[in-house]
Amino acid sequence: MEIKKLNIIITLGLIAIIGILIAQLLWTRQAYNLEDKKFDQKVNIALLEVVEKLYDGKASFTENPVQNIANDYYVVNINKEFYPTVLEHYLKTEFTRFQINTNYVYAIYNCHSDKMLYGKYILADHEGESKKNEVINFPKHKNLVYYFSIRFPDKTTYLISSLKFWYLLTFALIIILLVYVYSIYTIIQQKKFSELQRDFINNMTHEFKTPLSSILLASEALNKQDAIKGSSKLQTYTSIIINQGNKLNNHIEKILNIARNDASVLSLKPQKIMLLPFIQEIADTMQQKNENLTIHIQIENTTSIIADEFHFTNIIYNILDNSIKYCETKPCITISTHQESKGLYLKFKDNGMGIPAKNIPHIFDKFYRVNTKKSDGINGFGLGLFYVKKIVQQHHWKISVENNPDKGISITLFFPS
């Protein structure tokens, strides 16, 4: 994906999440305001019911006796004397009926002493229990003679607790936004790292190929000289230089191809391949290079698949090469096929040293090599099986690896019908 398109997607996603978060905060604020108005309405109605009961249902007022002085402070005009115990009973009854489940404090004005007499601190969560000696501010009302005051010190906490769902949803959206930002940051960092790694590999391999090509050309020219041809020892030395140079060149080419095609889909040219002659030719070539190698092929003449010839050849070479390199005795490989209704299975069974069970899930990872004494002495970069897995996935095949009960491993390619 191009950087420009990625930036557009990131920006749009960020704007969308921030927009949703802002909308959620506005909805939460509106819900709080509505809950506040609802609370005020219930308190007003409950206090009016208290006034009615104090008047025995015969109250007559030209204006509303309940005045909302502050956000959590109410004053109720009575215009007659009343007993505090009766008032407390009616308050508890009406607040319970209207489901006003929060703590409150009431105080009564004494016109004889011209003071606000402290009432009680009522705990709504403890079934009407109360406690005294709470320092609550009750200012005197100038125009009223017989009245009482109600204060709700925990009103804000009560309203917030009644909106738990809204606050939890807002908190969840904030967490999502933070996770999104962190994920985008990680993606950008990984993309930069991947591009840096690919550029480094490209530059490194190209820098290696130039002097290596000169070495190979010089070695081949040197090998044709009469002085070299006349000395078996010199021929051995030049052959070592040429063979090791070609091996190094193959490694560099493999790294370069992986780096070039890592982020893109490989171009495949599928064609029909008859498995028996195809694999037999590869096996003969491998046996010519290794006299101790034994390959048994158990494939029917009519078995065929559809695959890219070049890449499928590389798959077979990589699998056989690994079986040879990681064998501590004379390598013996059995190649067989098994046909089922789901598709065709192509199995490579060797007598190598095997792979620890904990390492099997990682053998197809890039640059991964099993840490053993044998692998330390074998040249390679851990790209062979990574390349095999990539080609298998491009063909929509499947590949699996398992240890044999006796010795070695079995690699199975599955070709769906």
Q: Both 69 and 170 in a single domain? A: no
pLDDT number for residue 176: 81
Q: Both 111 and 190 in a single domain? A: no
Distance, in Å, from the CA atom of 345 to the CA atom of 339, rounded to the nearest integer, reads 6
**261, 289, 314 — which closes off a domain?**
261
**116, 135, 161 — which closes off a domain?**
161
Strand order in 66-70's β-sheet?
A: 66-70, 73-77, 147-151, 104-110, 115-123, 129-131
3-state secondary structure of 82: coil
Distance, in Å, from the CA atom of 120 to the CA atom of 347, rounded to the nearest integer, reads 87
Q: Both 105 and 211 in a single domain? A: no
Distance, in Å, from the CA atom of 6 to the CA atom of 201, rounded to the nearest integer, reads 24
pLDDT number for residue 306: 92
| Rg, C-alpha atoms of the chain | 43
pLDDT number for residue 337: 92
pLDDT number for residue 334: 92
Q: Both 121 and 207 in a single domain? A: no
**237, 261, 285 — which closes off a domain?**
261
CATH number of the domain within which 358 lies:
3.30.565.10
The 3 state secondary structure assigned to 116-174 is EEEEEEEEHHHCCEEECCCCCCCCCCCCCCCEEEEECCCHHHHHHHCCHHHHHHHHHHH
Q: Both 385 and 308 in a single domain? A: yes
pLDDT number for residue 414: 94
- Residue 61 belongs to domain spanning: 3-161
If we measure between CA atoms, which residue out of 249, 252, 244 comes closest to residue 205?
252
* Overall number of domains in the chain: 3
pLDDT number for residue 412: 93
- Distance from CA of residue 302 to its chain's centroid? 47
For residue 132, which phi and psi values (nearest 5 degrees)? -110, 180
If we measure between CA atoms, which residue out of 366, 186, 184 comes closest to residue 263?
366
Q: Both 8 and 157 in a single domain? A: yes
Find out whether 235 and 228 touch, Cβ atoms under 8 Å. yes
CA dihedral sign of residues 4, 10, 12, 18 = negative
Low pLDDT (below 70) residues in the chain: 1-3, 57, 59-62, 111-115, 118, 124-142, 145, 201-202, 204-206, 251, 253-266, 371-382
Contacts of 140 (CB under 8 A, 6+ apart): 109, 114, 115, 116
For residue 349, which phi and psi values (nearest 5 degrees)? -110, 125
Q: Both 197 and 117 in a single domain? A: no
Beta strand 332-339 pairing with 343-349: antiparallel
Q: Both 16 and 122 in a single domain? A: yes
Q: Both 155 and 169 in a single domain? A: no
Q: Both 314 and 242 in a single domain? A: no
| Tens digits of residue pLDDT in 223-253 | 788 887 788 888 888 888 887 787 777 767 6
Q: Both 136 and 198 in a single domain? A: no
| Tens digits of residue pLDDT in 4-48 | 777 787 788 778 878 887 887 888 888 888 888 998 888 888 888
Q: Both 14 and 118 in a single domain? A: yes
| C-alpha pair distances (Å), 254 with each of 3, 251, 257, 385 | 27, 5, 5, 12
CATH number of the domain within which 171 lies:
1.10.287
Distance, in Å, from the CA atom of 159 to the CA atom of 39, rounded to the nearest integer, reads 8
CA angle 196, 201, 205 (to 5 degrees): 150
